[in-house]
Amino acid sequence: MSFAKINIYRALKTLLSKIFALILLTVTAGELFAQQSEVKMVPSGRNAEKVINSDNLRMQVEFLTDTTFKGRATGSRGAAEVALWISRRYENAGLMPFDGSWSRSFKVGDAVGRNILGFLPGKREASKEMYVIIAAHYDSHGIIDGNLYPGADNNASGVVAMLSVADMFRKMKDLGRSYGKNIIFVATDAKEKNSAGAEALMDDIRNGRLKDPVDGETITMDRIRATVVLDILGSTLEPIHKDRKDFLIMLSDGQYTFDLTRANEGQGMGLDISTNYYGSKSFTEMFHSRFGDQKIFVQNGLVCAVFTSGITMLTNKVTDTADTLDYEVLRKRIFLIFHWLEKIL
């Protein structure tokens, strides 16, 4: 072989090596891009935020506090109509009923109360043994001495927050995301009747009457990982710090406070967070363990976290109306609660 032919051979070999390397680099880069694209397509909780806006929150609170429902007193026609509306909201959110029914009735004196339950299954291989209950009471005081108690903050705000969380989880489900625990959504009745609705729920569980809608297995107390109560959640009248109206109070036994801090910082929520009731140890214990539906859950040995914006001068008054709430702050609170739930599920 001549010297010229050798040079041509070497040049051709070098060129082919470069072409092969370029092809290999292109394929590798393509695979890497595909992997990155897959990562980007993993559903983010941020996607769920798009289904909630402050105007819609206001409309729902205004609806629940309308004079048509006459204060949603337990056993009243107004309360029954609201219970039906909540059932439809559950259905629209893609939840499942228990035993083919959204409603579970119980006696409260001479009246009939109705808890409204909906179920969101988690990953069955991971979630079969674990449940989280999210509860908000929908009853108020009705009409007393001719005066209507609309119950906007207490607790139309909590009901709307719970339904919004259900909508957000529906969005995540549509995007292909599922979680490690099952969620039981409960709109409790008769909180203003010594939390009779929460007690009826616990009685159903204690006596084996609550069955998993997917596999029919009995849901027992030891399989409930946590209970979450949303109660009085829409006001900014009693801030933790005077210069911050965008605040949220979570009362618990301390198990999930770190998760709340991580969600608040990691999602850029930036809310002013407190894990006690305005710095008072005795009031913190009272509102976490001896007050409201949470009292019933704690008495039954369940871990309970309570989200609230605190009692105000309007609580349990005829002036607790829809126009006194801050819906933009309520929206932020709902987002934070949702992102916190994602961390504990």
Domain locations along the chain: 1-41, 47-344
pTM here is 0.87
CATH superfamily, with its number, for domain 47-344: Zn peptidases (3.40.630.10)
Convert 45-60 to b/e letters by CB count within 10 Å (16 or more is b): beebbeebeeeebbeb
Q: Rounded to whole angstroms, how far apart are CA atoms 321 and 324?
A: 6
pLDDT of residue 275: 97
Phi, psi of 244 (to 5 degrees): -130, 105
Q: What is the pLDDT of residue 39?
A: 43
Cis peptide preceding 155, ω within 30 of 0: yes
Predicted pLDDT of residue 76 = 98
Element (H, E) at 147: strand 147-149
Residue 123: per-residue pLDDT? 86
Please give the single-letter amino acid code of residue 165: V
**pLDDT at residue 25 in the model:** 36
Confidence at residue 262, expressed as pLDDT on a 0 to 100 scale: 95
pLDDT value of position 20:
47
Alpha-carbon distance 243 to 265, whole Å?
A: 19
Asked if 269 and 263 touch (Cβ cutoff 8 Å), the reply is: yes
Residues in the chain with pLDDT < 70?
1-42, 126-128
In this structure, the strands spanning 272-274 and 247-251 are parallel
pLDDT at 23: 41
